[in-house]
Each structure stands twice: as C-alpha cells, then as structure tokens.
Amino acid sequence: MKRLNLLLVLAVPVLCLQLAGCRQASPSPAPEEKPATVEHLQCAEPEKVTLTDEAAKRIDVQTAIVTTETIGGVQREVIPYSAIVYDTTGKTWTYLNPSLLTYVRHAIAVDHIEGDKAVLSENLPADASVVTVGTEELFGSESEFEEE
C-alpha cells in the first residue's frame, strides 16, 4: 500500500507536467499600435502630433474655436486659458486642430489674461480650432514618442 501511495505521489506531478506540455500555445499578441506619431515640420520648432482614435479618447482631447471679442474698443482674438501650454523657457504655445486627430503646436503671443480667457496680441489662422483639454499630453508626446 505504501508503494502504491508513493507511486501516485510521484506519478501525479509527472502526469500534470506532460499534460501542460500538450496545451496549445497561445498566439503572440499583435504588435501594439503607437498611440501618437510625431512629425517634425519644416518650421523651426513646431511639431505635428497625430493620435490614434483610442489615444484621443483616452486623453479626452477637446477643442474650441478661436473667438473675436471687442476689448478696449479693439477686436481681439481670444482663446480659453486652458489652450495655452508653456515650455521650459516660458514661451507660450497652443495646439491647433487642422484635421481629425491631427494637432500642430503653434507659437502664440499672449497680450493678457482675463479670468479663463487669454487675449492674443497676434492672430491665429482663420477659423482656427485650439485644443483646450489634452494640451499637456500632446506637449509631452512630442518627446515621449519621438523617433530616434
């Protein structure tokens, strides 16, 4: 009886190992699509970031149309303050949204801030749309996903 118990104790792990070897190998995962691609433009510094649909949803990118307001008797372009991103030198930028899932960093000159609005001293392209949510993530993606 002891011999039978010993045989069972030794046989069960060996049998389990053999059965595990018969298991069908799981397919290797598909290569992950990069959430963002960064393209260096002809201009000196601006970058063009193209997001996947999934990445845009994940960071909840939101945009707003640039508006014009009369301030001090003068028509001025105004963008939400949340559309501004500052680089490490204090330079001000915004991201334009020229087409679906495409964002271009654009240098801006801010005249002054009024509450949650930034009054610009230079005009943006006509009918421009600026990113108001997700600017920091886009700015960070320029260095994070940059191809060597």
> Is residue 21 included in any domain, yes or no?
no
- pLDDT per position as a tens digit, 15-36: 444 544 544 444 444 455 665 6
Enter the pTM of the model: 0.68
The overall average pLDDT reported for the chain is 78
Question: Residue 18: its pLDDT value, please?
Answer: 53
> Is residue 8 included in any domain, yes or no?
no
> Is residue 18 included in any domain, yes or no?
no
- pLDDT per position as a tens digit, 52-93: 999 999 999 999 999 999 988 989 999 999 999 998 899 999
Q: In whole angstroms, give the CA distance from residue 62 to residue 81.
A: 13
Domain CATH number, residue 54? 2.40.420.20
Q: In whole angstroms, give the CA distance from residue 124 to residue 97.
A: 12
| Structural domain containing residue 113 | 36-144
Which of these, 83, 56, 49, 85, lies nearest to 67 by C-alpha position? 83
Q: Looking at residues 44-52, what average pLDDT do you find? A: 78
CA 57 from centroid of its chain's CA atoms? 9
> Is residue 81 included in any domain, yes or no?
yes
> Is residue 25 included in any domain, yes or no?
no
> Is residue 119 included in any domain, yes or no?
yes
Q: What is the dihedral of CA 27, 28, 30, 35, to 10 degrees?
A: 140
> Is residue 79 included in any domain, yes or no?
yes
Band of residue 135 on the pLDDT scale cut at 50, 70, 90:
very high
**The total number of structural domains that make up the chain:** 1
